[in-house]
């Protein structure tokens, strides 16, 4: 195993770039809200499993050309994303605004982001 692979541990995925407050990950310069850290591990895992099932349903219905099934699968994805706290009302309570889906350079995270290098 290479040094870089052993440093990452079992996963071969690079670490996500996460804002200092833990509210967002950054993907291609865009902020995406993280799931609610207040969820217990078992609930979070069930929701992630449900999310993956719903995403697979989106893909399968799209391949099949079934627009009604695809719509239902998209609704299922949205329901789970809300339950995870990634959409809908924010999970933090300090009154800070939500910058979900905003480009980091256009938010209060701009200075922090300018000093970062996104994982490949």
**Domain assignment of residue 93, given as a range:** 16-34+86-120
9 domain residue, yes or no:
no
φ, ψ of residue 16 in degrees (nearest 5) = -80, 145
For residue 1, tell me if it sits in a domain. no
Across 82-96, average pLDDT: 97
Q: Which two tokens stand for residue 43?
A: 């609930």
Q: What angle do CA 39, 35, 54 make, to 5 degrees?
A: 100
Same domain, 66 and 49: yes
Contact 63, 30 (CB under 8 A): no
pTM, rounded to two decimals: 0.81
| Contact between 26 and 104 (Cβ < 8 Å) | yes
**Count of domains for the chain:** 2
> Which pLDDT tens digit goes with each residue over 49-79?
999 999 999 999 999 999 999 999 999 999 9
- For residue 3, being part of any structural domain is answered with no
User: Are residues 108 and 118 both part of a single domain?
Assistant: yes
Q: What are phi and psi of 24, to 5 degrees?
A: -140, 155
């Amino acid at each position: 195993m290479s040094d870089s692979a052993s440093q990452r541990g079992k996963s071969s995925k690079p670490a996500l770039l996460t804002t200092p407050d833990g509210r967002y990950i950054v993907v291609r310069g865009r902020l995406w809200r993280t799931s609610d850290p207040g969820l217990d591990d078992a609930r979070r895992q069930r929701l992630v499993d449900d999310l993956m099932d719903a995403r697979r349903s989106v893909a399968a219905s799209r391949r099949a050309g079934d627009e009604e099934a695809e719509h239902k699968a998209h609704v299922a994805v949205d329901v789970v994303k809300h339950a995870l706290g990634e959409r809908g009302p924010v999970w933090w309570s300090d009154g800070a605004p939500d910058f979900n889906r905003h480009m980091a350079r256009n938010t209060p995270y701009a200075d922090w982001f300018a000093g970062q290098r996104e994982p490949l």
